Amino acid sequence: MGAPMASNILRAARDAGSGVTVTARRIERVAEIVRDGAHWVPTAREVATASDVVLLMLPDLPDVEKVLGGDDGLIAGVTAPLVLAIGSTSSPDGVRELAARLASETNGLVSVIDAPVSGGEDGAIAGTLSIMVGGAAADFDRASLVLAAAGVPKLLGPVGSGEVAKACNQMIVAATVLALGEAIVIADRSGLDVGELLGILAGGYAGSRVLETRSDRFVNKDYHPSGMAKYMVKDLAFALAEAGKSGTVAPQLETVSRQFSALVAAGFGEQDISVTRAFVESQVEG
């Protein structure tokens, strides 16, 4: 998702008379936006030196830590105030701890906001992502040009609030995509036209963004990854942790979390979340 987001940010930066510096584990991933005018650098350290706002789009905090540390890491390049936006879907407590640590290590130069997104690859390309932000209002304002270029950012509270919001989002997405997988298998085995069924469901209360963006995949059994199913396991674990911390009984969350763990254990984790249909089809009563 990082490359299409960077393309939209580059366009907004140009309009504002500014620029964008990018790096990636493989330059091929950002070759197009480099051709369009983004400045490529080989290290995160050079990104920090060139920037006042940095957005990291990585799976989780262990990946973030790899970018932050070392002689070529992002923190080594910080020489002036910097807002670091963490786009990962991660533990709220983990992000809070990271924010406190970086503020201490940099004498307050680095301010962390968490900014996980929802909307998938389609939303990243269109610049319509929902961006759930936690952090100080001043830091949110400093990062607003970058975030608004990628979608619709909303400040929901202090650092960690964005991750809590994303956990809630993933609870709903996971429950919906699992319910769709089960419903489709029941309908198919009962002789219904699955494509027609999903079309009629979309016009009623069962309609959702998940159904809108995944209908063709469900019908055609096209599970090439846009959002890998395996990431739901960690996302739902964060939701379970927050439920426990807040004293919330969440039986549906517990059930859906178990089912996604079973899906990954069954070998479906590297495929798109719409693979819930194949997972349900693989189950045997007993």
The 3-state DSSP class for residue 206 equals coil
pLDDT given at position 62: 95
Q: Does residue 234 carry a catalytic annotation?
A: no
Residue of 66, 154, 166, 230 marked catalytic = 166
Cross-strand bridge partners of residue 84: 54, 112
pLDDT given at position 3: 87
Given a contact cutoff of 8 angstroms between Cβ atoms, the answer to whether 73 and 45 are in contact is: yes
For 2-158, which CATH class?
alpha beta
Average pLDDT of the residues in 46-70: 95
Q: Nearest CA to 81 among 56, 114, 51, 43?
A: 51
Percentage with pLDDT > 90 across the chain: 92
Give the C-alpha separation, 148 to 144, whole Å.
6
Chain Cα centroid distance, residue 122: 13
Domain covering 163-282: architecture: Orthogonal Bundle (1.10)
- How high does pLDDT run on average in the chain? 95
- Provide the pLDDT confidence category of residue 53 given band limits of 50, 70 and 90: very high
Average pLDDT of the residues in 17-27: 89
Q: Nearest CA to 177 among 137, 102, 228?
A: 228
What predicted TM-score, i.e. pTM, was given to this entire model?
0.92
Q: Angle at the Cα of 174 (from 272 to 4), degrees rounded to 5?
A: 50
pLDDT given at position 221: 97
pLDDT given at position 122: 86
Beta-carbon count within 10 A of 56 CB: 18
Q: Residue 87 contacts by C-beta under 8 Å, 6 or more apart in sequence? A: 2, 55, 56, 57, 58, 115, 116, 117
Residue in the block written with tokens 């991750």: 163
pLDDT given at position 286: 59
pLDDT digits (tens, 9 = 90+) for 253-277: 999 999 999 999 999 999 999 999 9
Domain residue spans in the chain? 2-158, 163-282
Angle between helices 209-220 and 161-189 (to 10 degrees): 40
Q: Residue 255 contacts by C-beta under 8 Å, 6 or more apart in sequence? A: none
pLDDT digits (tens, 9 = 90+) for 67-87: 999 999 999 999 999 999 999
